[in-house]
């Protein structure tokens, strides 16, 4: 059986982002669980703020078409979230919104088709003690509304500036074990939904 393809994206493009560091920490556990991993940097997909008139005038940005194709090719999505005022980052929301738009030239790899029926998992990071727990509920709702099957396992990593080691592992063995459980469940669910 071929390995499921899991796309990982962090909802922050900042160079020293804790979410980006946590996204890197998700790669090895996903691979260990049997997945092929596509770690996407949203800074490589610089889309303007979504605006219906802009879409009508110019169509989808090329970078969004490329990201839609990668989402359509994946079996599961792992979103690593920073917490912005208790909610989702503008970058991540804008990216999800743009990718939900249909492309008349490629309907099978655009719009709702890039999300529907695929597995998703959410983790969060924050320098604060709650670890971005509040954002997880918002992102779960959005991904579910887009038609994804969001697994119940999740993780919020508090004091993430101290929690992620240079080896891309979580310093706390319990948190590392939880992360491995999340990634394993995502891979298993992605495999089941694909068949």
CATH code of the domain in which 13 resides = 3.40.50.360
Structural domain that includes position 169: 5-194
Domains in the chain, number: 1
pLDDT score, position 26: 97
Tens-of-pLDDT digits for all 195 residues of the chain?
A: 589 999 999 999 998 899 999 999 999 999 999 999 999 999 999 999 999 999 999 999 999 999 999 999 999 999 999 999 999 999 999 999 999 999 999 999 999 999 999 999 999 999 998 889 999 999 999 999 999 999 999 999 999 999 998 889 999 999 999 999 999 999 999 999 987
pLDDT score, position 131: 87
CA-to-CA distance for 163 and 22, rounded, in angstroms? 9
CA-to-CA distance for 134 and 154, rounded, in angstroms? 12
pLDDT score, position 130: 86
Whole-model pTM: value is 0.95
**Residue 85: partners with Cβ closer than 8 Å, 6 or more residues away:** none
Taking alpha carbons only, the member of 45, 78, 65, 79 closest to residue 108 is 65
pLDDT score, position 194: 84
């Amino acid at each position: 059986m071929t390995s499921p393809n899991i796309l990982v994206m962090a909802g922050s493009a900042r160079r020293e982002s804790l979410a980006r560091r946590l996204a890197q920490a998700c790669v090895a556990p996903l691979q260990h669980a049997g997945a092929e991993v596509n770690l996407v940097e949203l800074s490589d997909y610089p889309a303007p703020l979504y605006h219906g008139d802009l879409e009508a005038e110019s169509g989808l940005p090329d970078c969004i078409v490329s990201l839609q194709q990668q989402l359509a090719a994946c079996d599961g999505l792992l979103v690593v979230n920073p917490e912005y005022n208790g909610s989702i980052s503008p970058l991540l929301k804008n990216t999800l919104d743009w990718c939900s738009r249909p492309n008349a030239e490629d309907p099978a790899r655009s719009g709702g088709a890039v999300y529907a029926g695929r597995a998703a998992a959410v983790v969060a990071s924050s320098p604060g003690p709650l670890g971005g727990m509040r954002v997880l509920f918002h992102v779960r709702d959005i991904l579910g509304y887009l038609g994804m099957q969001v697994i119940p396992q999740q993780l919020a990593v508090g004091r993430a500036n101290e929690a992620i080691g240079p080896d891309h592992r979580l310093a706390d063995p319990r948190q590392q074990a939880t992360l491995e459980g999340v990634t394993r469940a995502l891979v298993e669910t992605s495999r089941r939904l694909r068949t």
